[in-house]
Amino acid sequence: QLQLQESGPGLVKPSETLSLTCTVSGGSISSSSYYWGWIRQPPGKGLEWIGSIYYSGSTYYNPSLKSRVTISVDTSKNQFSLKLSSVTAADTAVYYCARNPATMVRGVSPRFDPWGQGTLVTVSS
Amino acid sequence: QSALTQPASVSGSPGQSITISCTGTSSDVGSYNLVSWYQQHPGKAPKLMIYEGSKRPSGVSNRFSGSKSGNTASLTISGLQAEDEADYYCCSYAGSVVFGGGTKLTVL
């Protein structure tokens, strides 16, 4: 059974870089059938897709966050990571990682399954 | 891209059916049969309930069904149960991925 687990600091200072890692267990991140994505949810608000990555390193990002986001993959560790730079209080959210099927010729499917449990990151000095 | 439009809340009594709408544009919902629906209970991660408009993942009750008409996708839950009370989000491809604002379902 595939499982995803987010990890990283729960508190980040304004203007610094948020860094999170998602560890995949029960399956290989190098599968040609999937992308691996990050989604976030500010407290009390809705979901926002951040971006997705293929095992080869190919990425798709949300245009509204693209200038601040970097997603990378480490196939040797079965992990993928998120870096979000120049954070502000508006980046305070629960961050989820999830699997994304690679079913489209271009772009990323809006299908995410399964999801990690999520990790709360607070931006505050 | 803009978020998809969902009603803020819907409600129904046990045993009834409800429908949650998800309105987009001809550039997202209307152009692709790729809408997904997610159920989220408080403090929990979202769970995929419908994908590619009307397909159910293994293990999801057949009380949940999805459809589309024009630029609007819909999630219908029949035979409402107390455990269905949750937030529901639609999600579509729109050049990238866009979510709806979410709908709170209350089972009366």
Query: Rounded to 5 degrees, what are φ and ψ at B84?
Result: -80, -10
Quick: pLDDT tens for B64-78: 999 999 999 999 999
Number of residues that make up chain B: 108
Q: Is A110 in contact with B101 (Cβ distance < 8 A)? A: no
pLDDT the model gives residue B95: 85
Mean pLDDT for A76-100 is: 98
Dihedral-angle region of residue B99 (phi above 0 means left; psi in -120 to 50 means alpha; beta otherwise): beta
A63, A107, A118 ranked by CB distance to B45: nearest = A118
The residue assigned the tokens 């990283």 is A8
Quick: pLDDT tens for A53-76: 999 999 999 999 999 999 999 999
Q: Which of B36, B97, B104 to mutate to test the interface with A (most CBs of A within 10 A)?
A: B97
Please, what sign has the CA dihedral across residues A72, A74, A78, A81? negative
B86 Cα to chain A: minimum distance (Å): 13
Q: Is A47 in contact with B102 (Cβ distance < 8 A)? A: yes
pLDDT band at residue B1, thresholds of 50, 70 and 90? low
pLDDT the model gives residue B3: 82
pLDDT the model gives residue B92: 95
Closest CA to A38 of A119, A123, A122: A119
A48, A61, A117 ranked by CB distance to B99: nearest = A48
pLDDT, averaged across chain A: 96
- Closest residue in A to B37 (Cα) is A111
pLDDT the model gives residue A107: 87
Look up residue A10 and give its amino acid: G
pLDDT the model gives residue A83: 98
Quick: pLDDT tens for A33-51: 999 999 999 999 999 999 9
Please say if the pLDDT value at position B33 is more than 70: yes
User: Is B55 in the A-facing interface, judged by CB distances under 8 Å?
Assistant: no
